[in-house]
Chains A and B, each alone.
Chain A
């Protein structure tokens, strides 16, 4: 079945760039997403990319999609302590279900 994999932890220094990586298996996925979860809160959509795009930029966020390798990345420029959170990669089930399939999340820690 479909699966989304991401590394569990990432630690960076304030001001550096963070790159969170994700791989997925469903080649028919139409959309891929990055969600952010802060402690005690629900998930917040950060950005999404349509599968026919290879890059999307939104202020400090850059999403890169390599459809051939089924690899998605999220780059956060000038990472701040407020960016500390868990980041989830998700794909839209390309089959009839259409629900989102999430990775287990990458916990980003930003050190001052």
Chain B
């Protein structure tokens, strides 16, 4: 079956703009988590959605937001972009609200902020 699909794969934005990233989980998976990956900080948890509800949230400012639709697809939005938001944004899906933590990752959306 198809894996986790993230779009777009690459994008370039300028400071102050906003961006929306999309994630389609594996069919039947109802939980979607988002992580930010940077060389300096590694992988940092952004948030997790399950049944259209945000279940967990990491330590990121309010400029980072997300949502989940009834078909389990998820989007994350970053407003008022800063240079430090340049990163690989990874989406991961799992069958249920993190039980064993067996996450299936997409290939990521690489955001460059100029």
* Residues of A in contact with B (beta carbons under 8 Å apart): 31, 33, 35, 40-45, 48, 88, 90, 92, 97-105
Contact = CB atoms under 8 A, between A and B. Distances in A.
Question: Which of B101, B102, B104, B108 gathers the greatest number of chain A CB atoms within 10 Å?
Answer: B101
A33 B107 contact: no
21 contacts: A31-B101, A33-B101, A41-B107, A42-B90, A42-B105, A42-B107, A42-B108, A43-B90, A43-B92, A44-B105, A90-B101, A92-B101, A98-B98, A98-B101, A99-B33, A99-B98, A100-B33, A100-B103, A102-B35, A103-B42, A105-B43
Interface string B80-114: 00000000001010000110111111111000000
A48 B104 CA distance: 13
Instruction: State the 10 A-B residue pairs at the shortest beta-carbon distance, nearest first.
Output: A42-B105, A104-B42, A102-B43, A43-B105, A92-B101, A99-B45, A98-B98, A42-B107, A97-B56, A42-B106
Contacts of A103: 42
A109 B35 CA distance: 25
B75 interface: no
Given A42-B90, A42-B108, A88-B43, A98 B56 contact: yes
Contacts of A42: 4, 90, 92, 105-108
Interface of B: 4, 33, 35, 42-43, 45, 48, 55-56, 58, 90, 92, 97-98, 100-108
A106 B43 CA distance: 13
Nearest to B46: A99
Contact of A100 (B45, B97, B106, B107): B45
Nearest to B101: A92
Nearest to A91: B101
Contacts of B106: 42
A99 B102 contact: no
Contacts of A99: 33, 45, 48, 56, 58, 98
Contacts of A43: 43, 90, 92, 103, 105
